Amino acid sequence: MERILEIYERALAGKATEGEMNILRSWLAGRENNGPAQELLEQSFFRTTATVDIPEEKAQAIFQAIITADKTPDRVRHIFPRRWWWAAASVALLLAASAAYYLLQEHQTVRAPAVADVAPAHKGAILTLSDGSQVVLDSAKNGLVASQNGARILLDSGQLSYDPVAGSADAITYNAISTPKGRQFNLQLPDGTQVWLNAASSIRYPTLFKGAERKVEITGEAYFEVAQNSKMPFRINVNKQALIEVLGTSFNINAYGDNGTINTTLISGTVAVKHTPIKTSSSERVILKPGQTAQMAIAHDLNTVDKIKVIPDADINKAVAWKNGAFNLEGSSLKEVMKEVERWYDIEVVYENNKIPDIYFTGEMSRNVKLSSFLKALKEWQINYRLDNNRLIILP
């Protein structure tokens, strides 16, 4: 019974697999389970109807009419053709639809619960200091945020910067900044390099650059404007799989794991891209020219890595649209766009029956709009959906 309850709750949340649904349907159809099944359905039915402001007396009448469908008028029998209708039904859909159907027959208005609109991403991040302590930058005030070994950390109008301290210690300490979904942030590294972090991204860096190189690590997506220093090359370790070597340039790195690739798009200057760590006999190294993208498949086995693909005529506007406050939808599939929407609005996107509409977009939209405005635009592509709290469900 414990397993059935677990599957049932997953079904109500729309997360049950087809196999789990078959187990649930079989259990509900067994006549030996009539009592427990009716009690389970009754509990969840009244939990559902409570969200649409149905009087208790009306809800009781609705439920009794549903479970005795063999005695109800013909208009109900064609929906529930036999008493044990739940054996072939999707439980969550049936419970919600049943209440709405009966109320409509009685000329009642079903009022869906109000769903709060979702604001677009805003400036904010979490700063992790060398000792592991964290500072939420969303609420931090301008001025000195912390002092680390070799630098003062300053916040000014939403940008973090490092002010080296004269005579600082030789030991190197590291800080990290991460942006949750629904956040975006920019900072100036100790060498003057400017970095913009997209939502769901991170960067780890020393509080003071010393030695023969300047090395940082990133995940997610970031845009760099690297301060020139020919004596100290700038290197970026991306997802521990790619190494970007820079002298002085501006470029974008998109390395979200759900994209399956690491894309480095060069805006100006020169960068070299290679695999790291190199565990193969070939140490491939690709040098990009402005307007090119190096595309590297994310490897699950570092002993077998694919060749780096160079896209000669990259869409620069598309690559940096996020930094400029826009969704560039040109040529993007619905699935690709929804991944951006998830990160930007901090919501979950699911596809009913796991069916993803085969739709491709054109054009560009501002990112500085609430979710409701973005969803209205989807109607232009005849995309149907429903919003359940923080869950956007795309319909087939």
Which whole number is the average pLDDT over 127-142? 92
Q: Which amino acid is at 270?
A: T
- Tell me how crowded residue 365 is: count the other CB atoms within 10 A of its CB: 16
CA distances from 135 to 2, 124, 212, 248, 324 (A): 42, 11, 30, 30, 26
Least confident of 9-23, 54-68, 193-207, 307-321: 54-68
DSSP state of 171: S
CA distance 95 to 91: 6
Euclidean distance between CA atoms 225 and 146, whole angstroms = 25
| Cα–Cα distances in angstroms (integers) from residue 125 to residues 27, 40, 204, in the given order | 48, 43, 13
Residues facing residue 349 across a β-bridge: 392
**How confident is the model over 316-330, as pLDDT tens digits?**
999 999 999 999 999
CA distance 58 to 33: 27
pLDDT in the model for residue 61: 59
Q: Which two tokens stand for residue 332?
A: 């993007």
Q: Integer distance in angstroms from the first to the last C-alpha of the chain? A: 33
pLDDT recorded at residue 303:
61
Dihedral sign, Cα of residue 206, residue 208, residue 212, residue 214? positive
Amino acid type, 25:
R
Give the global pTM. 0.68
Quote the pLDDT of residue 199: 96
Task: Please say whether the structural domain 122-320 has been given the CATH code 2.60.120.1440.
Answer: yes
pLDDT value of residue 12: 65
Q: Residues 31-43: pLDDT tens digits?
A: 666 677 767 666 6
CATH level 2 (architecture), domain 326-394: 3-Layer(bab) Sandwich (3.55)
Which pLDDT belongs to residue 317? 93
Strands (E), 298-359: 309-311, 326-328, 348-351
Per-residue model confidence as pLDDT tens digits over 305-354: 778 999 999 999 999 999 999 999 999 999 999 999 999 999 999 999 88
Instruction: Give the mean model confidence (pLDDT) for residues 192-203.
Output: 96
Parallel, antiparallel or unpaired: strands 285-288 and 122-123: unpaired
With contact defined as beta carbons under 8 Å apart, do 357 and 332 qualify? Answer: no
What does residue 164 show for φ and ψ, rounded to 5 degrees? -60, 145
**Can you tell me the distance from the alpha carbon of 132 to that of 148, in angstroms, rounded to the nearest whole number?**
12
Q: Is the peptide bond before 180 cis (omega within 30 degrees of 0)?
A: no
Report CA 37 to chain centroid distance, whole Å: 37
Q: How far apart are CA 86 and CA 95, in angstroms?
A: 10
Max intra-chain CA distance, the chain: 89
State which amino acid sits at residue 249.
T
- Of 105, 99, 97, which is closest to residue 73 (Cα–Cα)? 105
What residue spans define the domains of the chain?
2-105, 122-320, 326-394
- Beta-carbon contacts of residue 328 (< 8 Å; ≥ 6 apart): 315, 317, 318, 321, 364
- Quick: pLDDT tens for 41-52: 666 665 655 555
Q: Report d(CA 251, CA 50) in Å as an integer.
A: 52
- How much of the chain exceeds pLDDT 90, in percent? 43
CA angle centred on 276, ends 274 and 282, rounded to 5°:
65
Q: So what's the pLDDT on residue 276?
A: 76
Return the higher-pLDDT residue of 242 and 100: 242
pLDDT digit string, tens, across residues 142-167: 999 998 876 889 999 889 999 877 55
Nearest in space to 184 (alpha carbons), one of 230, 126, 239, 133: 126
The pLDDT of residue 186 is 95
Q: Which of 115, 114, 118, 116 is nearest to 369 (CA)?
A: 118
CB 275 within 8 A of CB 304: no
Query: Position of tokens 């005795």?
Result: 68
CA angle 272, 273, 275 (to 5 degrees): 145
Phi, psi at 219, each rounded to 5°: -135, 160
